[in-house]
Chain A
Amino acid sequence: MAKLRIGYPEDPDYQERLEEFEARIARGEKIEPGDWMPAEYRRQLIRMISQHAHSEWVGMLPEGAWIPRAPSLRRKLILLAKVQDEAGHGQYLYHAAETLGITREEMVEALLSGKAKYSNIFNYPTLTWADVGIIGWLVDGMAIKNQTMLAQCSYGPYSRAMVRICAEETFHHKQGKEAVLLYAKGSRKQRQMVQDALNRWWWPTLMMAGPHDTDSPHTPLLLRWGIKTKTNDQIRQEFLNEHVPELLEAGLSIPDPDLRYDEKTGNWLHGPIPWDEFWKVIGGEGPMNRHRLEARRRAHEEGRWVREAMEAYAKRRLAQAAD
C-alpha cells in the first residue's frame, strides 16, 4: 500500500480540513479509513492500535503456559477458549491498524525485532495457578476499563474491534474472579497462593493504565480527537473503585499500606506507584521480556515451513488454473 502523504500541517488546505474533521468528531461521528484525517491522528492511532495488537499477541504466552497444567478439565476448557480469544483480538486489532496504511508485515517485524512495545504486564511470570485467576480478574479487569473507553473511540475500525473484544473480555474477567474467590475461600494453601499472586500482580496492574496524567504528554490531543475519552488516572480510579471493595470482601489484603477510602469523593486512593520499576521493565529489564520475545520469534520461525507450503500450494493451483 502506498504511504499516504496527506493531512500534514504544511498542506495548503490543512487548517480548513482540520476544522471540518474536529467538527465531525464533536458531532460524535466515526472517522473511517477513506476519510481525511490529520497525519498525526493516523500516527497516534497506528502507535496505539499496533501496541494493543502486540499486547494481545504476547498476552497469550503467560496464560498459555498453564493450559497443560490446568487443575481440572473445566478450567482447561475455559483457559483454551480464553487464549484463543486473545489470538483473535490480536487479529481484529492488526486489521484495524492496517486500515491506516501500515502493513501486517511491518507490524510483525517491529514486534519481533523488539522495536515495538506491548503491555508491560506480560513481562511478569505466571508462577502458580492462582496467577491465572488474578490475571483474569485484575489484569483483564483493568484492560476492560480501558477497552470500554476505547469502544467509544472516534476511529471506526478501532471502535468496532473494541466492541467485539469487550464482549469476550467480560467472560475472561468473570472466570478469573470466580477462580480467585474459590481460592480465597479455600484451604490455607490456596489462600496463601492467591494472596501471593495478588501481592505480585497488584502494582504492575495499576501501572497498566499508564503514567499519571501529569506525565502523559499525548493525552490532551488524544482526548481532543476522541481517540481516548478518559485519562489514565480516570481509568485507574474506576478500576480501584470497582475492585478494591470486592478484593477486601473476599478476605484478601491489598499490598498498599497507604490505600484508603476517601469519604468526600467516594474514591479509593492508592499510595505511590513504583514507577522506577515500570520504566525499568519498559526498557527491557523485566523478568520475562527476553523470554516473551524469544517465544514469539520461535513461533514465527517454526511456522515458516507452513507459510512456505501454503504459498507453494496456492502458486501451483494458480498455475494449474492458467493451463
Chain B
Amino acid sequence: MTDLQIKGLTKAYGPDMTVLQGLDLTVPSGSLAAVLGPSGCGKTTLLRIIAGFLRADAGTVTVGGRTLTGPGTHIPPERRRIGIVPQEGALFPHLSVAGNVAFGVTDRAARRRRTEEMLDLVGLAGYGDRMPHELSGGQQQRVALARALAPEPALVLLDEPFNALDSALRAGVRADVRAALRDIGATAVLVTHDQQEALSMADLVAVVRNGRVAQRGHPQDIYNRPADPWVAGFVGDAVLLPGTAVNGTATTALGTVELCEPTDALAEALQGTVLLRPEQLRLTEPGEAVPAGTVTDIRYYGHDALITVTVDDLDTPVDIRIGGHVTLRPGDRTGIRITGQATLHP
C-alpha cells in the first residue's frame, strides 16, 4: 500500500464557483485520514478528483509515486487502482453479494478465493449468495467495503459511508470498517462532515474550509490545539474568552491558564482570544477570590451534562461540561476553575 500526495489542487465550476483553491494534503502509507468539513467546503469534489471522476483545473494527485492527475495527465478511473465506498453502499442491485465483491477482481483464478477472503474480512462469510436488498444497511456498507478492497487498490476512498445508518448501528459499523482497513494496512481517505466520526476513526484529520486544508494533524492535536477559533468550533464545543498572555500563561476573567505553545518570554503582553473546551472548566464552591457566575441553563445528556453559566465579568455565557449527577438548579451561584492547557488566538 502506498501514500497519497496532493499538491495545489484547484477546481472551479464557473467564474464565481471556485471549489478547491490550491489544496495540499499528504496521507502516509497505511494510515486512515479523515477529510472533515462542512457541506460545500469542497470535500466531495476533492474525493471525485482523487477517484478520477472529475478533472482538476490545476495541481497534482500522486499515489505511491504514480501521478494520476497532473498537468496534461488524467488517468481514467478504471486505471487508477483506487477503490471507493460510496454513501449508502451503492451495491449493484442485479448482482449477488459475491458478484458485487468479485466485480473488480480481474484474475479469474483468484476470484473465488479473494471474494471469500474479503467477505471474511468484513465479517460476512457465508453471505455470498444473498442479494443486496436482503442485507441490512450496515451489512450493505460492509459489502461495499469488501468490494472496494477486493482488487487490492492502492488507496480506498470512503464517501460519508455511515450517513445512512441509524445512530445505534453506526458505531459498530465504524469499528468494523476501521478494523478491516487496519488488518490489511490500507491507505484510506474518509470524507465526512461528522467531527465525532473523524476524531474517533482517523489516524489523521484534515479540516477543510473554503477549498483549503485549514488544519491537518492527529485527532487529539486538532481538538486540543485548533489552528483557529473556526476549527475549534467545528470539531467540538468551544469556550472563547478574551485574555492577555505573558510568559506562556494567559489571564482571563476565569483566572489564569497555561498555554500549549509558550509565547516569547521577552515579548510584551499579547492580547487575544483564549480557547478552552467545556470539559476543562470545573464547578467549585463560590467564595472570595474565586471567579463566579449564575447558572442559567442545564442540558442533561445522560453520560454528561452542559451547564451554562453567566459569569459576572463576561458578556457571553460559558458552557461547562460535567460528568454524571447534576445537583444545580438554574439561578444557583457557582464558582469556576480552569484546568489543562489552552490556545491563544490573536
Do A and B pair up? The answer is no
Residues of B within 8 A of A (CB): none
